[in-house]
Structure 1
Amino acid sequence: MTPIDLNADLGEGFGRWRLTDDEQLLSVVTSANVACGFHAGDAATMRRVCELAAERGVRIGAQVSYRDLAGFGRRAMDVPPDELAAEVAYQIGALEVFARAAGACVSYVKPHGALYNRVVHDEEQAAAVVEGVLLADAALPVLGLPSSRFLKLAEQAGLPTATEAFADRAYTEQGTLVPRSQADAVITDAETVVERSLGLARFGMVTSHSGARIPVRARSLCLHGDTPGAVDLARRVRARLESSGVHVKAFV
C-alpha cells in the first residue's frame, strides 16, 4: 500500500489574531503548508511555525497565495503573470529564511485558496506559479490537484510533483473541488471525513457531490486547520489510517 502524507494549512494568523492550532496540528500531520504573509501569516508567525515543525520533523511547505489578506486569499483576482511569478518567488524566499534558521528548509510549494483553484484550469496563471517556483528553486516539489494544468506544466518544467486530495471537501464528477460558494462544499461530519480519508488513502476513490464514485489518486491528504474541531478530527483521521494498515509518511 502506498504511504499517505497528511498536510495541513498552518500559520494562518496575523499579529494577535490566530486561526489555526499550529502546535497541536504539528503533532499529527507530516507536512505543514505555512502561510507566507499574502493571505495570512506574518514574520513572527512564520518563524514560530518553522521552529515547531523542525522540532517535530514535519516537512515545511510554502503555501503561496494571491495578495489578499482581507479576503483570506479566497477571492478571485487577476494578477499579471510576471507580477504573480515574482510574488510566488518572494513568498517562498521569505519562508525559506525562517525554515533555514530553524535548521530545516522549504521542502515543497502549494498554492492556496483562489490561486489553487485557478491554476487547475488557467494555463497562464499556472505557468506564472511554475515560473515563480523555478525562480526560487528549480528542484522544489509542488503539490496540487490531480490532472491540473499546474501539475502538468510543473512536470514539463522539470519540477517534482505530488497529487493531493481533500477528505472534507465535496468533489465534482470531473475530480475538481466544488466551490465554497455552493452549499455543502465543505463536509463537516467528522465520521464522514474519516471514512473518506480511508477511502482515498486505500483505494484512491471518493464519492462526488452527485453521488458518483470517482478516482482521485493522491500522495497527500489535506486536513484543513481552520475548521471547528480540526485537531480532534486530524487525530481521528490519522488513527483510523494507521489502524487500517496505512503508512503515514511525508511525501518529500
Structure 2
Amino acid sequence: MQYRIDFNCDLGEGCGDDAAILPYVSSANIACGGHAGDESTMRATLRLCREHGVAAGAHPGYDDPEHFGRRTLSLDRDEIGLLMLGQLARLGAVAAGEGVRLTHVKPHGALYNLAADDRVVAEAIVGAVAAFDPQLIVYGLAQSQLTDAAERTGLRAAHEVFAERGYAGNGRLLPRGRPGAVIESLAQAIAQVRRLVLDGEVDTAEGPLRLRADTLCLHGDRADAPAFARAVREALLADGVRIQALA
C-alpha cells in the first residue's frame, strides 16, 4: 500500500525561519495581513514557494495581530465572509504579480478552531472561498464542521491533522495552555505523525481515536521548526510515505 500525505506549514507570519522550513514541506499557508503578514512578507513567501516547488495557499485569520489571531472576535456571518474575501483578495493580488497560483485556504487560529464546531462560521468561510475561487481546497480540522461545509458546498476539503498538537477525545485540539496541548518532544511528535499517517489514529486522554489525514500541519512559529520539519519529513520518507501537495 502506498501512503501519501501533504505536509503543510503556516508561514509568512514574521516569527519563523521560512526559508529554512520550506525545503521540507509540500504546502505553505501564507498569512494574509490579518493576524500577521503584509505585502512584503507575502511576496517573499510566495517567491520561496515558487523556488522550492511548494504549493501556496492563504492563511486568513481575525484582524487582530496584537493577539496573533488566537482570540475569538464577535463577528457575524457577513463580517466573517468580508474578512475572508478581503484577505484572499490581498494575497491573491500579490500572488498574481509573482506568477504563483493559489491552491488552498486554511483559516488561522481562533477562526479555524471556531469553524471546527460552529456550522454558521464554517459556512461563512466556505461561502467566501467559493465566491473567490471554487477551485481552492479548504483545509480544516479533520472531521469537523469546516470540512463538512466544504464538501456539502461542492468544494474539495482537506482533512488536517497536527504533528505537534495534543488531541481531546472528540478530535478537537487541546486548548493552548492546557497540559499536553503542545508536543515539545520531537520523538513524541514523530510517533504521533506515524500513527496518524500509517494507522489513521491518534492517542487522546480518552483513548485512541480514528481520524482522516489528508494533510499534516507543522506550526512555523516554533523555535525549532526547521529541524522539526526536516525530522518529520525524514521519518515519513523512511516509512515509504510519499509527501505531495494535494493540488
Q: Corresponding residue for 1:74? A: 70
- Does structure 1 conserve the Cα–Cα contact (< 8 Å) formed by 2:5 and 2:197? yes
Tell me which residue corresponds to 2:160. 164
Alignment of 1:64 with 2:60, yes or no, is yes
Partner of 2:87: 91
Q: Which contiguous aligned blocks of 4+ residues in structure 1 show a shift greater than 6 angstroms?
A: none
Q: How many angstroms does 1:181 deviate by?
A: 3.1
Out of 202, 209, 214, the position equivalent to 1:214 is 209
Q: Is the 8 A contact 2:196 2:211 kept in 1?
A: yes
State the partner residue of 2:7. Answer: 6
The residue identity in structure 1 corresponding to 2:34 is F
Q: Which residue of 2 aligns with 1:237?
A: 232
Q: Which whole-Å CA distance do the structure 2 matches of 1:71 and 1:64 have between them? A: 14
Inter-partner Cα distance in structure 2 for 1:123 and 1:214 = 22
**Structure 1 unaligned spans of 5+:** 14-18
Q: Which among 193, 208, 219 is matched to residue 224 of structure 1?
A: 219
1:124 alignment partner, one of 115, 120, 123: 120
SS of residue in 1 equivalent to 2:235: helix
The structure richer in helix per residue is 2
CA contact (8 A) 2:61 2:69 kept: yes
Match of 2:103 among 104, 107, 127: 107
Q: How far has the Cα of 1:98 moved from its partner? A: 1.9
- Whether the aligned pair in 1 keeps the contact of 2:16 and 2:223 (CA below 8 Å) is no
Report the Cα distance in structure 1 between the residues aligned to 2:180 and 2:5, rounded to whole angstroms. 26
Deviations 1:120-147 (A, max 9, x none): 1111111111111122112211011122
- Equivalent residue of 2:67, what SS? coil
1:76 CA drift (Å): 1.4
Moved more, 127-136 or 54-63: 127-136
In the alignment, residue 74 of structure 1 is paired with which amino acid? Answer: R
Q: Secondary structure at the match of 2:4?
A: coil
Larger CA deviation: 153-162 vs 95-104:
95-104
Which moved further from structure 2: 32-41 or 128-137? 128-137
Cα deviation for residue 184 of structure 1 reads: 2.1
User: Does the Cα contact within 8 Å between 2:30 and 2:57 map onto a contact in 1?
Assistant: yes
Does the residue aligned with 2:106 lie in a helix, a strand or coil? strand
Q: 1:206-232: per-residue Cα shift (whole Å, max 9, x none)? A: 111x15111121111001111121110
The aligned amino acid for 2:242 is: H
Deviations 1:136-163 (A, max 9, x none): 1122110111221111111111111111
Cα deviations by residue, 1:81-134 (Å, 9 ceiling, x for unpaired): 111101101111111122222222110000110001000111111111111112
Task: Please give the alpha-carbon distance, in whole angstroms, between the structure 2 residues aligned to 1:155 and 1:241.
Answer: 28
Give the length in aligned residue pairs.
246
Q: Partners in 2 of 1:203 and 1:184 — Cα distance?
A: 21
